[in-house]
Structure formats: structure tokens, C-alpha cells
A and B are shown apart, each in its own frame.
Chain A
């Protein structure tokens, strides 16, 4: 089978690096880079939620904000501030992370997750979710497990993981499927799709995504371990 435009195999992701503790002011933070897409995530909280009428006495609230820096995209400047796109991504990011949190522990409080991207080449919501999961763990928030995410898709009948912008914008039958998994329990917490894909192709793509998410999960865990093992060595 012929290789992809950047020489990768179909089930091969771009190189990944991750780091925790990149924002000192935050309670938890992480950087997640996949290829040329870089996501920063910072977690503040659980902290008191204002205005007060937003508070829920039964459980805490998770609030995610996805933001592309104005110079981060290929082509024209992205206007700063929320857009319809970023608002929707913020929403699905929240839904992707919620299942691993136990917000009953934090009545009236909010956990804020800010995702900022300084440089992008597709797969930004997935990179954001990967960074956010590490940052939440770094903030010491109890989680059932981590969340790992990657985009999968169809480019003219070839099912592949981690599409680049170039691959996403190929002519013909193309589908982009961002997917997030709870990698241990193998459950899907984010699923979106736009483009053309058959049911069989979709299932094949999701299986590929599941495998890739397990690889990402190992990197996320190693990143967290690195920080905390390092810390105890210093003491």
C-alpha cells in the first residue's frame, strides 16, 4: 500500500511529545504536541463559581474553553475571541472529559479548563483533550481514568489515523472523525464526523482510533510519571 503524503503508515500517528507543569499559576497544566499541532491546557479549580446563580449545590461544574491563538492557523489570522466553531469545540471537549470526573465531590464549585493552541495542523480538539486530561490529573483531581483522543478518517477509501490538514483537504471522498476514548474501559466520549464514510469504514476507523488512543494513553501516563517521580527524587 502506498504511503501517505508525509511518509507515514495508515495507522501511524505523527510524533508526539507531552509535558506537564507548563503554567506555574495554574493548579494543573500540560502541553501536548502531535506533529505540528500544539495544545496547552491549564486547569484552575475546583474553585468557587461566580456568578452564584450558576452554582449547582448537588455537584461541581466543568467548564472548558478552547481557543486558537490568532496567529496559530495556516493562512489568515484567526479573529480573537469565541467563534461558533470554538464554542462548539469547547462544549464537546467538556462532554469528552466529564465521564472520567466525579463532580459530586465539589458542590457549588467549578473546574475551569483552558485550552490554547499556539500552532495548529489539524486534530486540534483531540490534542486539546489529551492535554486537558493530563492537566486535570496534574491538578490532583480524582479521575476514573485518563481520556485520550485522536482523529481518524477516510481519505478516498484509505482509512487512517491522525489526519494532517493537507489530508483533510484532499479532493474526493474524505471524512474526518475526531474520537476520544477512555482508554482502559474502551468507551467513546467524543465522536464527531464530517464527510463521507461507510459504516464498515467507520468501524474500522474507530478500531484504529482505539489502538492509537492506547498509545497516546501510555505517553500521557509517562508524562505524569516523569513529573512526579522527578519531584520525589528532589526531596
Chain B
């Protein structure tokens, strides 16, 4: 009860600020924190990237393998996305199997890449129905301070771009992780996820954990070259069609800005 009261107090305090177009860290409502993208942060991964959005930090790593394709897509490469909300990264995260938040994070990132058809998966087929390249993206939070979805999506894409395939011997059907080729992944698109957060009548971008705790609803919009390819509404409050319209157009606008950072 007391916890709820305090949360309400904090919410109305934040709303007063937002009405004046201010945030606690002096940003505009639609302004990102400082963004850094660093490539090649883990040598054993075929591709890797570290993304920082302010104090939020995520590492994405790519492991490639050769596996049997799914029966319904016999000549497409496979894609897998996993996310760990490491207990290292926040006092609120516990160790154990991925919880709902981690699963949602992985699936939203997965859908953005898959549905934008960012990868030309046909070129990742080695032998139809038998062997295809599997791209496994793993996301690990290092420090969680809000807006994990956008940071994770950006890290995943940066790591995919950083990836070089290991040597595959077609005769022996063996993968040699020690020798890396110059072959890159067939990336055709740049899917960017932007989450727009709604609190009261305001729309926010890139909240800190402090702000994120107080929001009413969020909408993640993944676009590639201005085209929508995936969406996810989150949190408890409903949205009107008008809300969605505004949030989508803000997301499209911000995606262009973020794409330049890659």
C-alpha cells in the first residue's frame, strides 16, 4: 500500500516535470541518452558488439553453426535469439532460467530481424533440407538502466554486421571455428527498434529505469527504411488509435536518427 502511494507520488512529480517539457536528466522528451556502439568486443564470438545508452549497457554476441534446417524452411538459414537479464546488471534481476521479461526481450529483437527480412536466409543454405547456417544471437545485460529493448536490438544488429563466418569444409562437413573467413552475413536491411513510452499524456523516448518504472504503456516499433516490420505493445494501460499513430510516427522519425549511429 505504502509502496503504491510512493509510486503515485513519484509519478505525479515526474508528470509535473514533463508538462514543462523537462526530464530529470535535462533531456527533451524525444531525446536519446548518449549512444555508443563498439564492435568486436569478444574474440571467440563470430561477431559482437557493446551498446551503451546512457548507463544501460548490453553485449550481443553471435555464434555461427551448421545445422539441419526446419522442415518447413528447408533452404533457409536458421536464426535464434536469446537474452539474459544478468543478475550482475541490476539488483532486481535474479539468477535462474529466463523469466518473462527476458523472453519478451529476445522475441521482440528476433521479430525485428526476422520480419524485416534483414538477412537473405536463402544464401545461408548449404545443402537443401540437410545443412544450413544457424545464426545464434545472444544478448547479455551488463548494466540495466531502462530501455533494454532498443539497446538490445541495436546491439544485435551491430553484432550481425560485425560477423565473419568461420571456415566450413563441405567435403568433411566440418566447421573450423579457428579459421575465420572474410565472408559476412547477407544483411540486406537495417531494422531499428524504437520504443515509445507513454506516461499520462506524454510520449517519451529512451527512459532511465527510474522513469520506466512509472510509465503507463509502451509501444516498440521496428522499422526498416521507414517501413514497419514488427510491433509490441507493453505494460498495463490501453492505447487509443490516436496514441498509436503518434507513437509510430515518432518511432519512424527516431529510427532514422539511430540508423546513422551504426
Contact = CB atoms under 8 A, between A and B. Distances in A.
Interface of A: 22-26, 29, 36, 38, 40-42, 44, 47, 65, 67, 69-77, 80-82, 112, 114, 116, 118-121
B30 interface: no
A25 B90 contact: yes
A118 B145 contact: no
Given A25-B144, A40-B88, A47-B91, A71 B42 contact: yes
Contact of B44 (A67, A71, A116): A71
16 contacts: A23-B88, A24-B143, A24-B145, A25-B55, A26-B91, A67-B86, A69-B61, A69-B140, A70-B82, A75-B177, A114-B95, A116-B86, A116-B88, A116-B140, A118-B59, A119-B41
B45 interface: yes
A80 B138 contact: yes
Q: Give the interface centre of B48, B65, B88, B140 by most chain A CB atoms within 10 Å.
A: B88
A36 B62 CA distance: 18
A114 B143 contact: no
Contacts, number: 100
A49 B55 CA distance: 27
Contact of A25 (B91, B97, B98, B136): B91
A25 B63 contact: no
Determine chain A's interface SS by DSSP, over half rule: loop
B171 interface: no
Given A71-B138, A120-B44, A23 B177 contact: no
A15 to B, nearest CB: 14
Contacts of B138: 69-71, 77, 80
Contacts of A42: 88-89
B42 A72 contact: yes
Contacts of B87: 44, 65, 112, 114
